[in-house]
């Protein structure tokens, strides 16, 4: 599960500052003219220049999966190519690990592309005359790695992406999804710090696309690369991104976590863009959890616990240890039973098989938990410590409120 909250505070791996890319003759002069602030359409009409990236600044942190999203013509693919200088920026700085890529000479760029970064393209970019293993090992071959060593590394990566047994086949023998796995394996074979992915799944059938998205998330959990992912698909962005940058006409108009983009769109364009997104796929337990009226503690006897429930007019409550770790839940009915049986510990009457969740559990994943229990769902941290509870009513209300926001947004 993604932990979006931590990313804005991480260590920057990629930093883009005031980046411009203008296609056309004497593009630099445009930045010194009054046309600099004109709309993209006016600039094209009056000067013939195309604004592909306008004054863009953002940071991607170490280990983050950062998504750049926008419709066709928004400038997202140009932006990702500028980062490796496959397209030369008109102005601005691009820092990778603190070094300005825009100042690199050809030798430094080659070293960056061979050792620090790898790119995965939409149309795979595989060599049709080479086998799968030779395609995967190609980046290592360019580095000058010996054949035995590069094949051994390629074999490991092929196994990681689930293509064992296909090493000696040509790409034409593979399905589209399998070919994209080869492209991903080739990018990973060099063990890059940074992966740049330009709409890598957009050419795949919907089912295969979802499978590749799931596999990328599983792989990222394992390898923890810094990934810059470009897509035009909102649902893909919401599913994959720790943070999302939304582009329009060469500008970034909002950067935020999936939940921030859905719940607090920056303007009417973003609001319209995300209007049909399901909040249940983005909102998390943290956004709807509450603090209980009372908690019971492991050292309390059954009579003390029963008195606490009665005083609070409660029928049940969660039980925690001295360190706040959840033990379970007890009900007034069960406490009465243990008292009548002369029991002396509330551990004897804990409800079995209590479903739990974490703060970043998606609301859609709370539905089956809510159905499986008549009690609130306890929210735990990574150490099993109780942090709050989610009620079924809160899940339903959160969905109703989101729909009301959407309805309000549609009213002129």
CATH number where 146 lies: 3.40.50.300
394 CB burial (10 A radius; 0-12, 13-18, 19+): buried
Using H for helix, E for strand and C for coil, what is the string for the chain? CCCHHHHHHCCEEEEEEEEEEEECCCHHHHCCCHHHHCCHHHHHHHHCCEEEEEEEEEEEECCCEEEEECCCCCCHHHHHHHHCCCCCCCEEEEEECCEEHHHCCHHHHHHHHHHHEEEECCCCCCCCCCCHHHHHCHHHHHHCCCHHHHHHHHHHHHHHCCCCCCCCCCHHHCCHHHHHHHHHHHHHHCCCCEEEEECCCCCCCHHHHHHHHHHHHHHHHHHCCEEEEEECCHHHHHHHCCEEEEEECCEEEEEECHHHHHHCCCCHHHHHHHCCCCHHHCCEHHHHCECCCCCEECCCCHHHHHHHHHHCCCCEEEEECCCCEEEEEEEHHHHHHHHHCCCCCHHHHCCCCCCCEECCCEHHHHHHHHHCCCCCEEEECCCCEEEEEECHHHHHHHHHHHHHHHHHHHCC
Lowest mean pLDDT among 38-42, 163-167, 369-373, 400-404: 400-404
Do 290 and 258 belong together in one domain?
A: no
Return the structure tokens found at 224: 């923890």
Q: How many CA atoms lie within 13 A of 212 on its CB side?
A: 25
One domain for residues 168 and 82: yes
Q: What's the average model confidence in pLDDT over 137-163?
A: 91
Q: Which residue has the tokens 């974490």?
A: 358
- Position 276 scores a pLDDT of 67
Angle of the 176-189 helix axis to the 147-160 helix axis, nearest 10: 130
Residue 141 falls within a domain, yes or no?
Answer: yes
Of 235, 255, 279, the residue that ends a domain is 279
Q: Give percent of the chain with pLDDT exceeding 90.
A: 51
Closest CA to 8 of 77, 79, 66, 82: 66
227, 312: one domain: no
* Mean of pLDDT values over 93-97: 96
Domain match, 369 and 388 both = yes
Does 140 lie in the same domain as 203?
yes
Band the pLDDT of 7: cuts 50, 70, 90. very low
Domain count, the chain: 2
Domain carrying residue 262 = 4-10+62-88+101-279
User: What average pLDDT is seen over the chain?
Assistant: 87
Judgement on whether residues 121 and 264 belong to the same structural domain of the protein: yes
Residues 123 and 210 in one domain: yes
Per-residue pLDDT tens digits for 210-219: 888 888 898 8
Structure confidence at residue 218 (pLDDT): 87
Terminal CA-to-CA distance of the chain, rounded, Å?
38
| Integer-rounded Cα radius of gyration of the chain | 27
pTM: 0.72
Residue 2 confidence (pLDDT): 47
Asked if residue 127 belongs to a domain, the reply is: yes
CB 330 within 8 A of CB 316: yes
- What pLDDT shows up at residue 314? 92
- Record the tokens describing residue 377, joined without a space: 């769902």
Q: Which residue has the higher pLDDT, 382 or 66?
A: 66
What pLDDT is recorded for position 400?
58
pLDDT tens-digit series, residues 317-371:
999 998 899 999 999 999 998 898 877 888 888 988 899 999 989 888 998 999 8
Please indicate, yes or no, whether residues 264 and 331 belong to a single structural domain of this protein.
Answer: no
Q: What is the mean pLDDT of residues 303-307?
A: 92
56 occurs within a structural domain: no
Phi, psi of 142, deg, nearest 5: -60, -35
* Res. 409 pLDDT band, cuts 50 70 90: very low
- 298 and 263 housed in the same domain: no
Whether residue 228 is found in the same domain as residue 247: yes
Q: Is residue 410 predicted with pLDDT exceeding 50?
A: no
pLDDT bin (cut points 50, 70, 90) of residue 28 is: confident
Report how far apart, in Å, the C-alpha atoms of 279 and of each of 238, 259, 282, 284, 406 are.
10, 8, 5, 9, 11
In this model, does residue 392 exceed pLDDT 60? yes
* pLDDT at residue 283, as a whole number: 82
Inform me whether the pLDDT recorded for 406 exceeds 60: no
CATH number reported for the structural domain that contains residue 376 in this entry: 3.10.580.10
Taking the mean position of all CA atoms in its chain, how far away is CA 36?
A: 34
Q: Residue 284: what pLDDT?
A: 86
pLDDT at 407: 46
Answer yes or no: is pLDDT of 401 > 60.
no
Is 147 a member of any domain? yes
Q: Regarding predicted confidence, which is higher, 82 or 122?
A: 82
* Phi (first) and psi of residue 111, to 5 degrees: -65, -40
101 token code pair? 């890529």
Q: Is residue 118 predicted with pLDDT exceeding 60? A: yes
Distance CA 311, CA 178 (A): 63
Shared domain for 274 and 378, answered yes or no, is: no
Last residue of a domain, one of 252, 279, 306: 279
Report yes or no on 18 lying in a domain: no
Smallest CA-to-CA distance from 13 within 323, 227, 328 is with 227
In whole angstroms, give the CA distance from residue 334 to residue 305: 11
Tell me how far apart the alpha carbons of residues 160 and 250 are, in angstroms, rounded to a whole number: 36
Indicate the pLDDT class of residue 238, thresholds 50, 70 and 90. confident
Q: What is the per-residue pLDDT across 363-382, written as a single tens digit (0 to 9) for each?
A: 889 989 998 999 999 999 98
Strand-pair category, 243-248 with 251-256? antiparallel
Same domain, residue pair 133 and 219: yes
């Amino acid at each position: 599960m993604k932990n979006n909250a931590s990313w804005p505070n991480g260590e920057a791996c990629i930093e883009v500052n005031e980046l411009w890319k203008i296609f056309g003759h004497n593009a630099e002069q445009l930045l010194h003219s009054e046309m600099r602030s004109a709309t993209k359409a006016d600039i094209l009409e009056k000067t013939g220049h195309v604004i592909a990236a306008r004054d863009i600044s953002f940071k991607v942190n170490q280990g983050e999966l950062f998504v750049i999203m926008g419709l066709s013509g928004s400038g997202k693919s140009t932006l990702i190519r500028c980062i490796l200088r496959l397209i030369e920026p008109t102005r601005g700085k691009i820092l990778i690990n603190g070094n300005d890529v825009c100042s690199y000479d050809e030798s430094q760029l080659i070293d960056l592309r061979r050792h620090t970064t790898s790119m995965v393209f939409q149309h795979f970019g595989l060599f049709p005359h080479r086998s799968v293993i030779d395609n995967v090992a190609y980046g290592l071959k360019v580095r000058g790695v010996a054949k035995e060593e590069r094949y051994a590394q390629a074999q490991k990566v092929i196994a990681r992406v689930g293509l064992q047994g296909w090493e000696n086949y040509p790409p034409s023998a593979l399905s589209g999804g399998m070919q994209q796995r080869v492209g991903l394996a080739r990018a990973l074979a060099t063990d890059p710090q940074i992966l740049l992915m330009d709409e890598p799944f957009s050419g795949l059938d919907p089912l295969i696309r979802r499978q590749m998205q799931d596999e990328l998330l599983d792989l990222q959990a394992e390898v923890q690369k810094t990934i810059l992912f470009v897509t035009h698909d909102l649902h893909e962005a919401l599913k994959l991104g720790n943070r999302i940058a939304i582009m329009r006409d060469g500008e970034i108009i909002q950067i935020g976590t999936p939940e921030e983009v859905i719940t607090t769109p920056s303007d009417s364009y973003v609001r319209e863009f995300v209007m049909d997104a399901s909040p249940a796929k983005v909102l998390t337990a943290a956004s709807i959890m509450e603090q209980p009226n009372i908690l019971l503690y492991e050292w309390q006897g059954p009579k003390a616990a029963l008195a606490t429930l009665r005083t609070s007019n409660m029928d049940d409550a969660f039980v925690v240890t001295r360190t706040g770790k959840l033990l379970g839940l007890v009900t007034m009915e069960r406490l009465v039973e243990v008292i009548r049986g002369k029991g002396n510990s509330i551990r004897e009457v804990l409800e079995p098989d209590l479903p739990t969740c974490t703060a970043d559990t998606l609301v859609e994943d709370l539905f089956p938990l809510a159905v499986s229990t008549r009690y609130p769902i306890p929210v735990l941290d990574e150490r099993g410590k109780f942090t709050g509870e989610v009620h079924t009513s809160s899940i339903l209300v959160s969905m109703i409120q989101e729909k009301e926001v959407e309805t309000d947004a549609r009213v002129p």
